[in-house]
A and B are shown apart, each in its own frame.
Chain A
């Protein structure tokens, strides 16, 4: 493969998504290690302001047009595809995100480019790039040696540090020239806002997270008691939200909130990749799950296979006692 790296950027509601910075940081590292250039594709409307934030890149390929104001998989895909076909072979990085995944398969099939999804590690090894992806609910990892031709890699958010990619600067800007109107069979109509906030879990310092292992809505009360004793907030993985035991605003994970609390106490959560994505940056993670093979133990700091329902009231007791002791 040519040594170049190309990042497909994402932005939402006027801000660059953190995944873009993660990809820039890692992309810059890989491009430099192999003596290549880092480019980033930026599509949207009124997005020139982002260029200054993309200082990690050598070149920004920009298309700024009213039609591109909102993400449209077809329009974006057509522009990106024509660029990829033009450029010499490169490692193309996208987020394994709602937008990224709409692009990944389509670009791969239309451009006949190989692609890899669910990637959480990328390294140069013996002259090749090796991508490590997580599969089967996080139970198995696959190492793939990327081919020489242009290859697309979708990266799970939270895999790389975003600070490394957060560099201000003035990269070279090249205009992508779509025809006056890129034909598209998809039209954006409106953005649906999430329901009114009851609690913003992204601001909580302590989160008590419940998963399927909590078994039924009644046991939520046990989690609430612990959260209260700790001065924290209850949140949940997707299955709990789907059951209607807690509102959408409490959901942590790929299609919910990304949180970075001081403490994340995961109760009865197995650690499916979609969930981990939303909490892996927590400072301290304690996991309680009766399955010793639960993937969450691979990334938690502390864990136990004790039954969460048994442990909860005991822990609440201990915390209350500790608080009392502190007060006296």
Chain B
């Protein structure tokens, strides 16, 4: 089973993020990047598949942010190859551009499965997985939480989440692209000693691809939700706040 995992870097919300002077983009200086959470799950699912049915995992990411360490981490977890994809971009592109970059790369390679996270926190123009599947003309199923290998060759059976705890079991012909919602177990841990060892020795390739030509969306402005609009904030000691809340609930006839 040859699996490609496509991952991306997104701003780390723990550090906060600021809008730049133009008001139309995030200030890159204010941002630290981490691996998108559901991409981490996509990698974990790939590792679980490899453990179950054997195969090879290759991990690809745009050459942006502090991504090299994440790729080494993937190698430390058991991926067979990791590569930075350089498309001559100087800032994090939208998903259409990113999808075109990966499409031009993956079009010439043979994979049975391409996995990526089903969504990321910066998905303004749709998620990467669906777009990439469209450009590659591959079947696409998103919100996948389980991948199984039936007896039928060249197919895979996935569970796709629906609201309310429902899920659909779908049979998909390979090659296919899956948007992973959650791996079948939480992403595994890599001891820092192994990561540090690998940072010295691991090879992360750099691949060059043509610059994409997507349609950029016309962003009028970015803004943060207004503070103060929304909740009336209660303040005081915890005892005072508890009293105020109770009074509110009594007032609204919510106390029986």
Contact = CB atoms under 8 A, between A and B. Distances in A.
A300 B182 CA distance: 29
Nearest to B225: A298
B217 A136 contact: no
Given A255-B181, A319-B249, A185 B172 contact: yes
Contact of A302 (B17, B126, B169, B231): B231
Nearest to B174: A185
Contacts of A286: 245, 248
Contact of B17 (A136, A257, A314): A136
Interface string A289-301: 0001101111111
B229 interface: yes
A74 B170 CA distance: 12
Given A137-B121, A251-B165, A300-B230, A98 B160 contact: yes
- 3 shortest A-B CB distances, which residue pairs? A105-B130, A109-B134, A194-B165
Given A71-B168, A98-B162, A117-B124, A298 B230 contact: yes
Interface of B: 11, 13, 16-17, 19, 26, 95-96, 99, 118-119, 121-135, 137, 139-143, 157, 159-173, 176, 179, 181-182, 186, 215, 217-227, 229-235, 238-239, 241-243, 245-246, 248-250, 252, 254-256
B168 A105 contact: no
B170 A187 contact: yes
A257 B19 CA distance: 33
Nearest to B223: A141
12 contacts: A97-B163, A109-B135, A110-B137, A144-B124, A186-B173, A231-B256, A284-B254, A297-B230, A300-B230, A306-B241, A307-B238, A322-B255
B26 A116 contact: no
B246 to A, nearest CB: 4
A310 B13 contact: no
Nearest to B127: A105
Given A189-B170, A256-B163, A315-B242, A299 B139 contact: no
B100 to A, nearest CB: 9
Main secondary structure on chain A at its contact with chain B? mixed
Interface string A248-291: 11010011111000110000000000000000000010110000
A222 to B, nearest CB: 13
Nearest to B168: A191
Contacts of A251: 165
Contacts of A130: 220
A133 B169 contact: no
Nearest to B233: A303
A255 B143 contact: yes
B224 A318 contact: no
B246 A116 contact: no
Nearest to B160: A98
B105 to A, nearest CB: 15
Contacts of B221: 142-143
A191 B160 CA distance: 10
A240 B220 CA distance: 37
B172 A186 contact: yes
Given A135-B124, A256-B164, A295-B225, A262 B254 contact: yes
Contact of B182 (A143, A195, A242): A242
Nearest to A145: B218
A176 interface: no
A322 B235 CA distance: 20
Given A70-B168, A185-B176, A117 B254 contact: no
B254 A230 contact: yes
Given A101-B119, A189-B157, A192-B167, 17 more contacts: A12-B162, A105-B126, A107-B134, A108-B130, A117-B124, A117-B127, A138-B225, A140-B17, A140-B223, A188-B168, A191-B168, A254-B163, A255-B143, A286-B248, A292-B227, A302-B234, A303-B233
Contacts of A138: 225
Contacts of A299: 230-231
A73 B141 contact: yes
Contacts of B232: 301-303
B242 A110 contact: no
Given A135-B124, A186-B139, A108 B163 contact: no
A326 B256 CA distance: 8
A45 to B, nearest CB: 15
Nearest to A231: B256
A140 B245 contact: no
